[in-house]
Structure 1
Amino acid sequence: MGNVYILWHTHTDENLDGGEDIKLIGVYSSELLAEEALQRKSKEKGFKDYLEGFEISRYILDQDAWSSGFVTK
């Protein structure tokens, strides 16, 4: 099985609807490529002020990433 690496950025702000702005930056075939994308984005307007918002997640292809249901209020 192969892996993909997803680069996310989350910005928390009470003024935003829901309090968060989550961006899917990209999907990469290696962790190195995801790290390189993070380095590029970390220099751009907005992102450079919220570096702690970056996250790289590894996902296995052809496998469920969520293994259970969910609960509502």
Structure 2
Amino acid sequence: MDALFVLLHSLPETGKVKVVGIYSARSLAEAAEERTRLLPGFSDEPDGFTIKQYEVDKDHWPRGFVRL
């Protein structure tokens, strides 16, 4: 199954997550992270980056969710 790599950035104090980009290879997501780390705001929060791999054509919340 095909996979995509999502580059995310989050701030711990707010819990808000930004989708920086979606890439066809991990190496492209890693290169985007390096570029993005230099931008205003992101350069102040360099530890907020995460790369997640997602399979295409698959449900990723099969059990729903619960509000806290």
TM-score by length of 2: 0.88
Cα offsets for 1:33-52 (capped at 9, x unmatched): 00000000001111111111
Distance 1:71 1:24 in 2: 22
Name 1:42's counterpart in structure 2: 37
Distance 2:16 2:65 in 1: 22
Secondary structure at 1:72 match in 2: coil
Name 1:7's counterpart in structure 2: 7
Q: Could you tell me which amino acid in structure 2 is paired with residue 47 of structure 1?
A: F
Distance 1:71 1:42 in 2: 33
Percent of aligned pairs with the same residue? 37
Q: 1:29 aligns with which of 17, 24, 31?
A: 24
Shift of 1:20: 2.9
Distance 2:40 2:66 in 1: 37
Distance 1:39 1:45 in 2: 13
Larger Rg computed on CA atoms: 1
User: 2:48 aligned with 1:61, yes or no?
Assistant: no
Question: Root-mean-square deviation (CA), in Å?
Answer: 1.4
TM-score by length of 1: 0.83
Question: How many corresponding residue pairs?
Answer: 68
